[in-house]
Structure 1
Amino acid sequence: MGVLIRGGRVIDAATNTDKVMDLYLDDGVIQEIGENLQKADAGDRVIDADGLVVMPGIVDLHVHFRDPGQEYKETIETGSRAAARGGVTTVVTMPNTTPVIDEPDRVRYVQNKAAQLSQIHVLQAGAMTRGEQGKELSDIKGMADAGVPALSEDGKSVMDAKLCKEAMTIAARCDLPVLDHCEDIDLRGNGCMNDDENARRLRLPGISNAVEDVIAARDIILACETGARLHLCHCSTKGTAFMMKALSEAGITNVTAEVCPHHLILTSDDIPSDDSNYKMNPPLRKKEDVEALREGLKEGYIQAISTDHAPHSQEDKNGSMRSAAFGIVGLETSLPLIYTHLVETGVLTLGQLVEKMCLNPAKILGLDCGTIQKGHPADVILVDIEHPYKIDKNKFASKGRNTPFDGWEVKGRVLYTLCDGKIIYQEEDHD
């Protein structure tokens, strides 16, 4: 059974499309795009998209589904439902699970479980070192053969520069991007928020910009030497933005970067006294960092927006800023937050939002999704950008409720999510 989406405002960054049109989806791909399309079969589903934005499904390069070993925080099933509710049709899950995803059999475990329980595309990244211990390389070639889309040591950096270079060399040979968590653990120490006047006001240990910048600079140099495709994760500093601008001006294209919504919207000034919902790694930085990251997205030398969706149990987040776990959830809030705070304010156009959240992440992974073109995957979402609503963490499909955005008024509610041409999420009371 096909699906006809009628009369929506189609936004596609790959073709610079912004036009009211119809889409016909069948057999998992986009079959036709045009005006006044006719149903091909009496059994087709018709969706009236009048007044709605029709855009590609979001590709999120950076999520934590906590399976195996930490299913009390999230599962592949609950994480996938959260993704669908947020308009995300493809995710890359990080390997810092229990045990770490550092060998082919563990990759296949996630793949098999996702095939059974998920209606979105769940792509499992492989760890760079065994157990993410930074001592010896994992079975990179074996994981590449098993189908990992990327390598990542997320949650930490490979502090041994020689070992990191060896991993990048193999990644380049296997044509795998390296998704890079940039954090000098020795510089970070026991820091729990940005090292600034707010940390001193709250009497909390700080994390300086250098914690990120030092490893970002080192790994950019290693990527240039090895030819590896390096992708800098959850960038938070003006220093990283400056490096990305310099690379762009030099014509270096094998290094890309992402920013998370919280690092584009919040600063350390927004942290109330000892509220662990504002504790994330890297931490919320200063206004000048936010402005530099926004400029990087707008000008194109920062290519992607990802969530670093990091669900935790209430117990893990109940402690103080010092003791609580790092991280917030983001799959169900990323699109409305970016639309409301970057598109409606004129920082990005709607086309640029689609470019940063759909097209560019797909390109970084070498996928043919992230676009609305004939013959491409029928991963499509319908979004209401007209009517405001309030974020309610109690309605999340994720197990995680750890967000600083609860109660925020936003626009950009996802009404339908289709993956491979099938409706996998529909907003209640909307038909």
Structure 2
Amino acid sequence: MSAILFENARIVDPSRGLDETGSLLIENGKIVAAGSEARNQGAPEGAEIVDLDGKAVMPGLVDSRVFIGEPGAEHRETIASASRAAAAGGVTSIIMMPDTDPVIDDVALVEFVKRTARDTAIVNVHPAAAITKGLHGEEMTEFGLLRAAGAVAFTEGRNTIANTQIMRRALTYARDFNAVIACETRDPFLGANGVMNEGLFASWLGLSGTPREAEVIPLERDLRLAALTRSRYHAAQLSCAMSADAMRRAKDLGTNVTAGVSINHLSLNENDIGEFRTFFRLSPPLRGEEDRLAMVEAVKNGTIDIVVSAHDPQDVDTKRLPFSDAEAGAIGLETLLAAALRLYHNDSIPLLRLAEVLSTAPAKIFGLDAGTLKPGASADIAIVDLEEPWVVREEDLHSRSKNSCFESARFQGRVVRTIVAGKTVYSA
């Protein structure tokens, strides 16, 4: 594998607090040097030398909430197609949710994902295993065996465990195996029939709403259980100010908890639904503008630790329906970074912090060897033109499904090259 020297780059490395002009040298799939000190690093004979003319070099993104159709719904997304979409978005590591058919709830399925990823994927794919068998919320899976097989986390995917005793047991088992429990918090009864945020706008549209309390009540329960069991708990996808407040209180008490938010809930609000646009039917639902602003502030101040795409491919048959009947979910791997850069360009969140919540922080939470430009690390890198304008077009998307919240959106900032273990896997 030939060496590559990137010169005249903006080096953005949250793991070392770097945001400076410099160079980056890759040899044998590893980072040799990165930063201002790398300017004096001579290029090995035969190396590819690239003048980036000020483009940003940052750790490849780590997306910890990705739904894939394989096995069972390959027409929506395969591991291979998801990896191509990820590469186009600068994502070099993804954590795959267990919501497949069959569910990733035993060792054979974990091994299937790892084997298929090894054979077909162009980015790193890490399986998360189900907490309960079949995602039914009743019988626990074999945490020890699944962890040993390569599961990086345990989750119920789109579901929330209703049984508090099972949730307590899951947290206790996860602690014993040094694993993290990552859960969506949605009361299955309070939010059962809601299809959008409860409020005046839902009333105007004549749609049933999901109150914020449907998210906060199970979140408060889980935070208390995490404190009780002294376990690592990750709230996978928060959406409202009340949830951010609950997370801040738990952190202030020293509870070992972290939280994520989807880029959709940082970029959009309930008004984007417009006249029943089903691509904007999400779970949790898009909230009001005050909640969106609160989530942006929570990312900025560290209350929320990571940002995810919540990539959830749905086909035409499940989206081209009346709003109340359509499936929730939107794809997002290819637009995650571009949408996040809006927050940089409008001075809401500094670039270094954005890079942290998109790469370094999720890698740390889930124990992945990623999210850094330190010498010796695997050369998993995204090169980004921070200023290039572009428009999201359906025909350009690499995902098998096209249900994007950002169809026809105009962005400023685009991935121009993605590298995994020193190999270029995407080039614009």
Q: TM-score range by the shorter chain?
A: over 0.9
* Displaced runs of 4 or more, over 3 A: none
Partners of 1:66 and 1:97 within 8 A in 2: yes
Is 1:139 aligned to residue 142 of structure 2? yes
Deviations 1:132-171 (A, max 9, x none): 0111101211101101100000111111110111111111
**2:39 corresponding residue in structure 1:** 35
1:368, 1:121 → 2: CA distance?
A: 10
1:111, 1:246 → 2: CA distance?
A: 38
Task: Tell me the SS of whatever aligns to 1:11.
Answer: strand
Partners of 2:251 and 2:257 within 8 A in 1: no
1:241 is matched with which residue: 228, 233, 244? 244
- More deviation in 68-77 or 266-275? 266-275
- TM norm structure 1: 0.96
Structure 1 residue 282: deviation in Å? 0.3
2:422, 2:284 → 1: CA distance?
A: 36
2:303 is matched with which residue: 291, 301, 304? 301
Aligned pairs for 1:149-160 (under 5 A) are: 149-160=152-163
Aligned pairs for 1:20-419 (under 5 A) are: 20-33=21-34, 34-42=38-46, 44-252=47-255, 254-340=256-342, 342-419=343-420
Task: Tell me the SS of whatever aligns to 1:269.
Answer: helix
| Structure 1 residue runs without a partner (length 5+) | none
Partners of 1:280 and 1:328 within 8 A in 2: yes
Structure 1 residue 288: deviation in Å? 1.7
2:192, 2:215 → 1: CA distance?
A: 13
Partners of 2:331 and 2:405 within 8 A in 1: no
Structure 1 residue 422: deviation in Å? 0.7
Structure 1 residue 348: deviation in Å? 0.5
Q: What letter matches 1:392 in structure 2?
A: R
Structure 1 residue 393: deviation in Å? 2.4
Structure 1 residue 387: deviation in Å? 2.1
Q: What letter matches 2:152 in structure 1?
A: P
1:113, 1:128 → 2: CA distance?
A: 22
Structure 1 residue 301: deviation in Å? 1.4
Q: What letter matches 2:295 in structure 1?
A: L
Q: What letter matches 1:131 in structure 2?
A: G
1:246, 1:296 → 2: CA distance?
A: 12
1:81, 1:370 → 2: CA distance?
A: 19
Q: What letter matches 1:380 in structure 2?
A: I
Partners of 1:60 and 1:307 within 8 A in 2: yes
Structure 1 residue 53: deviation in Å? 0.5
2:304, 2:215 → 1: CA distance?
A: 16
Task: Tell me the SS of whatever aligns to 1:40.
Answer: coil
Task: Tell me the SS of whatever aligns to 2:84.
Answer: helix
Task: Tell me the SS of whatever aligns to 2:190.
Answer: helix
1:201, 1:10 → 2: CA distance?
A: 48
- More deviation in 13-22 or 305-314? 13-22
2:261, 2:195 → 1: CA distance?
A: 19
1:147, 1:26 → 2: CA distance?
A: 28
1:180, 1:393 → 2: CA distance?
A: 31
- TM norm structure 2: 0.97
1:412, 1:36 → 2: CA distance?
A: 29
Name the count of aligned residue pairs.
Answer: 424
Deviations 1:222-247 (A, max 9, x none): 11111221111121011110012112
1:131, 1:251 → 2: CA distance?
A: 33
Partners of 2:14 and 2:372 within 8 A in 1: yes
2:173, 2:374 → 1: CA distance?
A: 34
Structure 1 residue 270: deviation in Å? 1.9
Task: Tell me the SS of whatever aligns to 1:14.
Answer: helix
Deviations 1:196-219 (A, max 9, x none): 111111111111111111111111
Partners of 1:275 and 1:320 within 8 A in 2: no
Partners of 2:223 and 2:250 within 8 A in 1: no
| Structure 2 residue runs without a partner (length 5+) | none
Task: Tell me the SS of whatever aligns to 2:100.
Answer: coil
Task: Tell me the SS of whatever aligns to 1:285.
Answer: coil
Structure 1 residue 249: deviation in Å? 2.5
Task: Tell me the SS of whatever aligns to 1:185.
Answer: coil
1:40, 1:329 → 2: CA distance?
A: 41
Structure 1 residue 36: deviation in Å? 4.2
1:47, 1:306 → 2: CA distance?
A: 30
Task: Tell me the SS of whatever aligns to 1:47.
Answer: strand
